Amino acid sequence: MTGRHVLITGASAGIGESCATLFAGAGARLTIVARRTERLERLKENLAEAHETQIEVAGLDVQDRRAVDAFTTRLTSQGNAVDVLVNNAGLSRGLAPLHEGSIQDWEEMIDTNVKGLLYMTRGILPHMVARNSGHIINLGSTAGHIVYPGGNVYNATKFAVRALTEGINLDVAGTGVRVSTVDPGLVETEFSQVRFRGDSERARKVYEGYTPLSPEDIAQVVLFVAAAPAHVNILQTVVYPTDQRSPYVLHRHDPEDDG
Ligand code: 8X3
Residue pair 43/16 in contact by the 8 Å Cβ criterion: no
Q: How many domains does the chain have?
A: 1
Name the residue among 27, 62, 21 with its Cα closest to residue 40: 21
Domain residues for 237? 5-258
Atom of ligand 1 nearest to the CA of 141: 5
Mean of per-residue pLDDT scores for the chain: 95
Average pLDDT of 33-61? 94
pLDDT score recorded for residue 259: 45
Least Cα distance to 202 among 193, 211, 189, 212 occurs for 193
Query: What sections of the chain are H helices per DSSP?
Result: 14-25, 37-50, 65-77, 103-109, 117-131, 152-171, 191-195, 200-206, 215-227
Listed in sequence order, the residues at least 6 apart from 138 whose beta carbon sits closer than 8 Å to its beta carbon are: 87, 117, 161, 164, 165, 179, 180, 181, 182
pLDDT at 124: 98
Q: Ligand 1: list residues with CB < 6 Å.
A: 141-143, 185-186, 247
Residue 257's pLDDT band (cuts 50, 70, 90): low
Which residue minimizes the CA distance to atom 4 of ligand 1? 186
The backbone torsions φ and ψ at residue 136, rounded to the nearest 5 degrees and listed phi first, read -100, 120
List, in order, residues 6 or more apart from 1 with CB less than 8 Å away. 23, 26, 27, 28, 223, 226, 227
Exposed (0-12), middle (13-18) or buried (19+): which is 43, by Cβ within 10 Å? buried
CA 77 – ligand 1 centroid, Å: 37
Radius of gyration of the chain (CA): 18
Give yes or no for residue 203 having a pLDDT over 70. yes
Residue owning the nearest CA to atom 6 of ligand 1: 143
- Nearest Cα to 91, choosing from 66, 59, 70, 116? 116
- Residue from 145, 157, 188, 191 whose mutation best tests the ligand 1 pocket (most atoms within 8 A of CB): 191
Bridge partners of 7?
A: 31, 85
Residue range 188-215: average pLDDT? 92
User: The domain spanning residue 179 has which CATH number?
Assistant: 3.40.50.720
- CA of residue 245 to ligand 1 center, whole Å: 13
Tell me the CA–centroid distance for residue 24 and ligand 1, in Å. Answer: 27
Q: Hey, how many other C-beta atoms are within 10 angstroms of the C-beta on 47?
A: 19
Residue 251 has pLDDT above 70, yes or no: yes
Band (255; pLDDT cuts 50, 70, 90) = low
Active site amino acids: 154
Mean pLDDT of 53-76: 96
Q: How far apart are CA 73 and CA 108, in angstroms?
A: 24
The whole-number average pLDDT for the span 7-24 is 97
What phi, psi does 167 have (nearest 5°)?
-65, -45
Ligand 1, residues 139, 186, 192, 196: which to mutate, most atoms within 8 A of Cβ?
A: 186
Confidence at 93, pLDDT banded by 50, 70, 90? very high
Q: Taking residues 134-145, report their average pLDDT.
A: 98
